[in-house]
Structure 1
Amino acid sequence: MAGIYIHIPFCKQKCHYCNFYTVISQKYRNDFVHILLKELEQRRDYLGEQTLNTIYFGGGTPSLLADNEIVRIIDSIKTLFPVNEKAEITLEANPDDLNKEKLTSLKENTPVNRLSIGVQSFHNEDLVYLNRAHNASQALKAIENSLSAGFDNITVDLIYGIPTLTEKNWRKNLELFFDFGIPHLSSYALTVENKTVLHSLIAKKKMTPVDDKQAVKHFELLLEETEKHGFIHYEISNFAREGYYSKHNSIYWLGGHYLGVGPSAHSFNGISRQWNVANMKQYMEFEQTGTTVLEKEVLSKDQRYNEYVMTSLRTSWGCDTEHLENVFGNLYTNHFLKHIIPFVEDGKVQQKGNVYTLTNAGKLYADGIAAALFMI
């Protein structure tokens, strides 16, 4: 179970809440794919002989790539790595890029078979608060165009807990999503990260701060509506119909291996984690240096245990004590069993055989529960 993540950092404008590495400047745009292909070649041995089941274009705004650039990247990957002929190939896209011509060409001329559309909200006041580049009309049209072009494996991103988002409008966002018949939804609470524009504006009292109680109400409504419409809540922020789970993101959650290329991209091979420099100038110097600037961390047993507990509890597959025993041993299994008891007793965690999963009540406290189980 392995995949490749390609980070395309270019954006038309910076969203206020975004803490990913992105650039507005197009200074390095023309040479970027050339350098990306060189990095792929340099790191062709990172995953050994594992077959790639997924290729994921993230960002930034990958939908700014031309079709021929997407094809060049995928062709290079297929030359350098063994790729499953039915690999999931996802392109993140902003609604304002998804006109009929773009989508028809994407469908006919590239192997992309899954779209991840960054809608965030179908209401203009929310999009203005977030400083998104598109408007509500473009969000609706992007989905219509995607379906008309023949894409059926689509996921939409929606954010809840936005101060401008009323409960009525959140319910309307969900209704619009369900009406399209799309098989996958990624939905996140608005988080105010340090060093983001939103953090600065709230600190200066120029923007309304996030209300945690409002976010909880939105989350509870999200659980209620997705269950009503037959969606499986297979990860804290992800809901899908049977057969439409994100294969790429499932690699992260299930401890699979992945290679990340592009500035700031992360990689994991089961033993160590490494991440590329988050700086375009340094990244583009590959042409002169022949190597990518990156940092590397070899994970300790404690870190690997903590990561398994944190990611597994976020999923419907849960944390398996048999796996803990086989991989980490008796000490770690006993530690987990001892510290999970209070959460089972107060209804935040449920047990079925060897597997522990969060209840709906527990999903609100996922990070805190995981932290209480960590080996420190």
Structure 2
Amino acid sequence: MHLYLHIPFCKQACHYCDFHFSTNLSQKSPLVDALCAEIRLQKNYLPDQPLETIYLGGGTPSLLTEPELTQIFATIRRFFSISSTAEITLEANPDDLSMEKLQMLRQYVNRLSIGIQTFDETTLRWMNRAHTASEAERCVYLAREAGFENISVDLIYRIPNRDSGHWQADLQKVLALNVPHISAYALTIEPDTAFGRWQQKGKLPPADETLAAEQFEELATALLSAGYEHYEISNFARREKDNTARYARHNTAYWQRRPYLGIGPSAHSYNGYSRQYNIANNARYMADIRQGKLPATVEELTVANQVNEYLLTGLRTQWGCSLTELNDLLGADFAQVQAHELVTLYASGWLVEEGNRLRLSEAGKLFADRVAATLFVEDE
């Protein structure tokens, strides 16, 4: 079983981010109280099995204080058992990761996901990131010194007005850090962000898909050559000496349709047959929780919902989608129902069938969402 907690606070708003967060840190403590109250309200959502992963995302969970983390984990342990081998991840910004903070975090979590985004000082300021380029590098060395072995860093590519040399420099620096996991995402301009408003005013060029494809291929080539496994479109993991791959176990659970509980404003939950979405408003979330109400909208998943979600997430991974599982979800022979679409995709070279599984080819990884959409089914 898997648990996600959304910590909706940031020091400042990055110009590209459309996740739910607030910069009003005065509400952090009462919201932690509400998170803990929701854990109690949701204690029966998951089957009674140990938590295999816990993920604190945001927002900026590294803003949490030691008393707040103590409160959160004491509440989790009160209502759930935690596997002795659980992966417990906290998202962090480099500017929060002093040695003192890292030593404190080490008592609660065993994996850090650090939002570096780029090592270029000018680009960091343009994005309105709170950290500097030197902090981006230094925090990884400090994290290791504090005892963290399982470290992931995030990078962003397809950044306007940056030549290929900047991206190559970012790749060289991240490889020099020798972390076991790297996530890299193409910059997406969302309407309700500073970048989105700049683009509407003509101050920011539209996304360059050719640049995105080139930099994605440079990313994959560089990381594969360095021994990383490209196990999901945006994620790369290295194998340790015992051949254990440092996959993000929590995110892999999402991609493989495993049940999870999401706690906090804007958090999502999935139990195998329905999804629920918490309200993305801190004040209303806290007000509902104080009244003992779950601030969530429940969506019962149809057969088509479940098949299409599996296609959308499963095809992004190196394991692809099991035809047996697709048949079970659909209640019919998927390959027969989608025979024409499959033949077309095989001929395009974007999709292959291996060992009763559908997987993207290397070329198909550039078109993952399009391939999945082509195979979507409709409810009868």
The residue matched to 1:316 in structure 2 has which SS? coil
Look up the match of 1:316.
318
Deviation at 1:335, TM superposition (A): 2.4
Alignment pair present for 1:364 and 2:363: no
Look up the match of 1:52.
51
For normalisation by structure 1, the TM-score amounts to 0.96
Cα distance change on mapping 1:342 and 1:78 into 2, 3 Å: same
> Which consecutive residues of structure 1, in runs of 5 or more, have no partner in the other structure?
none
Deviation at 1:16, TM superposition (A): 1.1
Alignment pair present for 1:100 and 2:102: no
Distance in 2, matches of 1:71 and 1:336, equals 51
Distance in 2, matches of 1:226 and 1:257, equals 31
Look up the match of 1:282.
284
Look up the match of 1:111.
108
Distance in 2, matches of 1:83 and 1:67, equals 20
Deviation at 1:327, TM superposition (A): 3.2
Deviation at 1:67, TM superposition (A): 2.1
Deviation at 1:208, TM superposition (A): 4.0
Contact kept in structure 1, 2:56 and 2:91, CA below 8 Å: yes
Q: Write the deviation string for residues 302-349 of structure 1: whole angstroms up to 9, x where unpaired.
A: 110111111111000111112222332225342234312212112111
Distance in 1, matches of 2:50 and 2:65, equals 27
Q: Which moved more, 1:53-62 or 1:71-80?
A: 71-80
Q: Which moved more, 1:220-229 or 1:76-85?
A: 76-85
Contact kept in structure 1, 2:257 and 2:310, CA below 8 Å: yes
Contact kept in structure 2, 1:232 and 1:241, CA below 8 Å: yes
Alignment pair present for 1:350 and 2:349: no
Contact kept in structure 2, 1:21 and 1:278, CA below 8 Å: yes
Contact kept in structure 2, 1:275 and 1:294, CA below 8 Å: yes
Q: How does 1:145-294 map to 2 (within 5 A)?
A: 145-242=142-239, 243-286=245-288, 288-294=290-296
Q: Aligned partner of 1:366: which letter?
A: A
The residue matched to 1:285 in structure 2 has which SS? helix
Q: Which moved more, 1:278-287 or 1:222-231?
A: 278-287
Distance in 1, matches of 2:68 and 2:26, equals 17
Q: Write the deviation string for residues 74-119 of structure 1: whole angstroms up to 9, x where unpaired.
A: 2211220122111100000001101121112222xx2200000000
Q: Write the deviation string for residues 107-136 of structure 1: whole angstroms up to 9, x where unpaired.
A: 2xx220000000000001221222211121
Contact kept in structure 1, 2:181 and 2:235, CA below 8 Å: yes
> Which consecutive residues of structure 2, in runs of 5 or more, have no partner in the other structure?
240-244
Q: Aligned partner of 1:21: which letter?
A: H
Deviation at 1:10, TM superposition (A): 0.5
Distance in 1, matches of 2:230 and 2:162, equals 23
Q: Identity percentage over the alignment?
A: 43
Deviation at 1:371, TM superposition (A): 0.5
Look up the match of 1:69.
68
Q: Aligned partner of 2:329: which letter?
A: V
Distance in 2, matches of 1:342 and 1:288, equals 54
Distance in 2, matches of 1:327 and 1:283, equals 34
Contact kept in structure 1, 2:112 and 2:148, CA below 8 Å: yes
Alignment pair present for 1:375 and 2:377: yes
Distance in 2, matches of 1:130 and 1:335, equals 46
Cα distance change on mapping 1:210 and 1:129 into 2, 3 Å: farther
Q: Aligned partner of 2:251: which letter?
A: N
Q: Aligned partner of 1:353: which letter?
A: G
Tell me the C-alpha RMSD between the 2 structures. Answer: 1.4
Deviation at 1:195, TM superposition (A): 1.6
Distance in 1, matches of 2:205 and 2:304, equals 40
Distance in 1, matches of 2:372 and 2:135, equals 39
Deviation at 1:287, TM superposition (A): 5.3
Q: Which moved more, 1:214-223 or 1:330-339?
A: 330-339
For normalisation by structure 2, the TM-score amounts to 0.95
Q: Write the deviation string for residues 167-211 of structure 1: whole angstroms up to 9, x where unpaired.
A: 112111111111111000010000112222211111112334432
Alignment pair present for 1:339 and 2:341: yes
Distance in 2, matches of 1:331 and 1:206, equals 50
The residue matched to 2:338 in structure 1 has which SS? helix
Alignment pair present for 1:133 and 2:130: yes
Name the count of aligned residue pairs.
373
Deviation at 1:375, TM superposition (A): 0.8
Alignment pair present for 1:85 and 2:81: no
Distance in 2, matches of 1:292 and 1:219, equals 41
Q: Aligned partner of 2:296: which letter?
A: L
The residue matched to 1:330 in structure 2 has which SS? coil
Q: Which moved more, 1:63-72 or 1:261-270?
A: 63-72
